[in-house]
Structure 1
Amino acid sequence: MASTEETGNSSFIAPMNRTCLLDEQFLTRMMPPTITIFFILATSFNSLALWIFCSHIKKKTSIDILMLNLCISDLLFTLTYPLVIIYHSNNNYWIFGNFVCKLQTFLMYCSGVAGIFFLTCISNYRCYVIIKPIQSKSRITKKCTIVICVLIWLLAGIFAFQSFFTINVFELNGKLHCMSYNHPITEEVLLTSNIILFILTFGIPFTSLLVSTLLIQRKLANLTLTAHSENCRHAVRLMMVILCIFVICFLPINVTRLIVSIMRVKSCKNYQQIGVVYYCCVLALYANSFLDPFVYFYAGTKYRSKLINAIKGVAFCNKLPAAPNPTVNQKCDL
């Protein structure tokens, strides 16, 4: 069994004796440059989105509230990137202590699950507005949306809170590791727990997204060329973007995690191959934070118009020569 030991003020668990251990040296070359690029893109796109939501959209609708919360979840997820970059740049050596390892894991799980739920709510909202345009105006209120957002954060926090009990730093070859494939939890994880999490945090949201897409497609097929049909086409494009995000970012890591908990690896070669695939899926998950801003562009015309106007305003001001006229500077002050 794994033993609990102390190093300074941080506790860690030593891994169980295994026949096979994943050689994670390739992560020192793969992770830092890739996640650094992801970090720059995610921080830039989501900071811009947050600026638009907070400064340019004063009267927020239900869809704006959902997108704002999705943006916040992506920014929280992005906060963990620097720690991962430093960890792998430091030859896979964790220097931040046990509590920070737990906190990082909690933030990743909580913001990741919340992001999935908010994407699902955005797609369901657009579907309901298209299918039931009159009822949606009275039933989907701002107050109702705020309550849903609070419930999503609470639910995501509950799902992620188990990380404080299951994830610890551990020692391997004289170095401390955090969130490693070689962690003892990968062998001790309960299959039932993984299946439940797979169903609740991926299976149901993904199925709901597919149903919403099919309903909008059917509605569009029965419409003539009207303003409402154009809204349907725009909603379909939104669904396609969200579906791509689910397939690229969430499907691989959820399926791989489930396979790892089910399979009994019989050879070290297969163990190494599965480990490499797992980390590639983790990278795909990290990409989610800079892909979500594309959802904002298709989800609501208000955000799209405000973003275009803001970009045009900045571009226009950059082209203007320096002039003593104060009114020009005021117009360009965004």
Structure 2
Amino acid sequence: MGNESATAAVNTTCLFDEEFLVTVMPPALAIFFILAASFNSFSLWILCFRIKQKTPIDFLMLNLCMGDLLFSLTYPLLITYYSNDNHWVFGNFMCKLQAFSISSSALASVFFLACISSYRCYMIIKPMQSQKRITKKCTIILSVIIWLLTCGVISPTFFIISIFELNGKLHCMSFNEESITANLLPSTIILFVLGFMIPFGSQLVSTMLIRRELANSKLTSQSQQRGQHAIRMMEVVLFIFLFCFFPPVMTRFLIATVDRNNCSLFQKLGIAYYSSLLCLYLNGVLNPIVYYYAGTKYRSKFNEIMKTWKYFSKPMPVSSNQSVNETKQ
């Protein structure tokens, strides 16, 4: 299936040895899939069914959650691919769709995290103006724009990525493919500027503005508490940016600029890149922490559900009559 499309050129300058992926990727991705799918399904259930009157930030979190859930659904195909000794059995179109889904959901996650942080900052600094100017309609329009922009930026993936045959196996999304190597540097620069530098810069500015606002002694205790929740959220988002998004972009840039004749260095950078991809896949596991600190309604519903589960997990109290009867026996 898909053999007729396996015509992509193979880079013969220096082939990257992908054998280590067979051992490392399947168990790691299996764990991430279980955690990400579970956490995001639970979060999606709260956002869709437990929060009736949704605020603008609830809509942003809903889109982020759907993007993370879409991201986690790409894991089973990757697990199958790596478990099958790096042999792609799903055809050329699915290879293109897989690459598009991974890239678009990751980029959308970056955009929505930046929007959530900016919105929380605006709520802390200008609470009255934020309620009047940022409406549900504006948030829905913004979400549509983000998805369209994301799909537009990632759309060249369908023309660049293709399956190719090497050593009797069909490969997908490999640095050994000539078309990927030829387009790696320009696409990496675009992703670095648009998908990291700009959102990360806005995140830093939002964090500094909130900290400056919290230094104001005139704030009420409720405003201080909201500000502290916002700071915790900002810290989590900053960690996600630095731990999940920066390493893949940086190692990808190094691979795009390294001399391919230096096979030893290229091999080490390839291992570093695929190792950093595990950090990217961890993003879907960490984002539910952002929901907890970002949305007041989400946090209250989450705590309410946790208290309910704790209540049912406790052993039922024994009545006094039952205790007397047991002692008599």
TM-score greater than 0.5 by the shorter chain: yes
Q: Secondary structure at the match of 2:90?
A: coil
CA gap of 1:60–1:30, structure 2 versus 1, over 3 A, is same
Residue 26 of structure 2 corresponds to: 32
- Structure 1: how far apart are the matches of 2:8 and 2:160? 13
What letter matches 1:217 in structure 2? Answer: R
Deviation at 1:198, TM superposition (A): 1.7
Q: Secondary structure at the match of 1:171?
A: strand
Structure 1 position 101 matched with structure 2 position 80? no
Match of 1:230 among 225, 232, 239: 225
Structure 1 position 207 matched with structure 2 position 201? yes
What letter matches 2:123 in structure 1? Answer: V
Residue 277 of structure 1 corresponds to: 272
Match of 1:187 among 181, 187, 204: 181
**Aligned 1:71-220 pairs, distance under 5 A:** 71-189=65-183, 191-220=185-214
Deviation at 1:181, TM superposition (A): 2.5
Deviation at 1:227, TM superposition (A): 2.1
Deviation at 1:265, TM superposition (A): 3.7
Mean CA deviation greater in 282-291 or 304-313: 304-313
Deviation at 1:201, TM superposition (A): 1.6
Mean CA deviation greater in 226-235 or 292-301: 226-235
What letter matches 2:67 in structure 1? Answer: S
Q: Secondary structure at the match of 1:13?
A: coil
Conserved? CA contact 1:235–1:298, under 8 Å: yes
What letter matches 1:317 in structure 2? Answer: F
What letter matches 2:167 in structure 1? Answer: N
Match of 1:288 among 244, 264, 283: 283
Residue 11 of structure 1 corresponds to: 5
What letter matches 1:278 in structure 2? Answer: Y
What letter matches 2:141 in structure 1? Answer: V
Mean CA deviation greater in 254-263 or 275-284: 254-263
Mean CA deviation greater in 299-308 or 236-245: 299-308
Deviation at 1:229, TM superposition (A): 1.9
Mean CA deviation greater in 183-192 or 112-121: 183-192
What letter matches 1:206 in structure 2? Answer: F
Mean CA deviation greater in 159-168 or 11-20: 11-20
Q: TM-score w.r.t. structure 1 length?
A: 0.90
- Structure 2: how far apart are the matches of 1:190 and 1:91? 25
Mean CA deviation greater in 194-203 or 48-57: 194-203
Deviation at 1:55, TM superposition (A): 1.4
Structure 1 position 301 matched with structure 2 position 293? no
CA gap of 1:17–1:67, structure 2 versus 1, over 3 A, is closer
Q: Secondary structure at the match of 2:15?
A: coil
Conserved? CA contact 1:12–1:171, under 8 Å: yes
Conserved? CA contact 2:10–2:176, under 8 Å: no
Q: TM-score w.r.t. structure 2 length?
A: 0.92
Residue 243 of structure 2 corresponds to: 248
Mean CA deviation greater in 161-170 or 312-321: 312-321
Residue 319 of structure 2 corresponds to: none
Identity of aligned residues (%): 55
Residue 60 of structure 1 corresponds to: 54
Conserved? CA contact 2:47–2:62, under 8 Å: yes
1:52-85 residue CA offsets vs partner (Å, 9 max, x unmatched):
1111100000111100110000000111000000
Deviation at 1:93, TM superposition (A): 0.6
1:33-70 residue CA offsets vs partner (Å, 9 max, x unmatched):
00000000001100110111111100000111100110
- Structure 1: how far apart are the matches of 2:2 and 2:13? 30
1:297-326 residue CA offsets vs partner (Å, 9 max, x unmatched):
1101211110121122233234466xxxxx
What letter matches 1:182 in structure 2? Answer: N
Deviation at 1:8, TM superposition (A): 5.3
Q: CA RMSD in A?
A: 1.7
Deviation at 1:10, TM superposition (A): 4.4
- Structure 1: how far apart are the matches of 2:32 and 2:186? 33
- Structure 2: how far apart are the matches of 1:273 and 1:313? 50
Deviation at 1:193, TM superposition (A): 3.9
Mean CA deviation greater in 13-22 or 71-80: 13-22
CA gap of 1:10–1:52, structure 2 versus 1, over 3 A, is farther
Structure 1 portions without partners, runs of 5+:
1-6, 322-334
